[in-house]
Amino acid sequence: MSDAAGTGSLQDDEVVIRFVVSKRNIRQDKTVKPEAFMPPKSLDLSVTHVANRSMQAIWERGHAVAKSHAIAAKREIRLIGGAELTSRDVRAAHPLDVVEAPIPEDQWHAHIVGWPPFGEEKERTKMLMILLASRAKYQPFPIPT
């Protein structure tokens, strides 16, 4: 893909980020735990793709995501960092795929799709989560100086 947001699949070499908002999802060695990739009931796992944006713009988006979660949960939730994957990494966890899913708040929003039905085949879902986590690169949210 492209500089302009659309609705198709992302190219293999495109990088997507899953925002991490719980310290529990990061191990002591700064690797990402599979829990960070658990799909929601809709089976559309939200990520944002980097495209040609600055990291500052991406972190701003992540901060907004964490803030919306905090409001919904009525407790403090902060952006911890991001788990980076290429589309190729996602597709290596067959049958997962990553597709554009722009939303008003984020034209670079995308979904990781292709999960087993929610509540069924949990073991297969876990295997896919582990595969994504094994390829993810953790980027900590920089602490403002």
Partner 1 sequence: MTKAMAIATISSPMLLGTPSVAVSLEAEYIGQHAQEPWDSIQQLNSIGIADLFHDLGQLAIECERPGWDGDGADPVLPSTIDQAVRLLRALPPGMSRPTLGVEPDGQITFEWYTSPKQVLSVSVCSDGNLYFAALLGAARHFGREPFFGDMPDEILRLVHRVAA
Binding site for partner 1 (CB under 8 A): 21-22, 24-25, 27, 31-35, 38, 40-41, 68-73, 75, 77, 118-119, 122-124, 126-127, 129-131, 133-136
Return all residues near 76 (Cβ < 8 A) that are at least 6 apart.
70
Tell me the closest approach of the beta carbon of residue 58 to partner 1, in angstroms: 19
Beta bridge partners of 99: 9, 111
Would you say 13 or 76 has its CB closer to partner 1?
Answer: 76
Residue 71 belongs to what H/E stretch?
Answer: helix 55-73
Nearer to partner 1, 17 or 21 (CB): 21
Which residues lie across from 15 on neighbouring strands?
Answer: 86
Measured from the CB atom, the residue of 51 and 61 that comes closer to partner 1 is: 61
The backbone torsions φ and ψ at residue 12, rounded to the nearest 5 degrees and listed phi first, read -55, -35
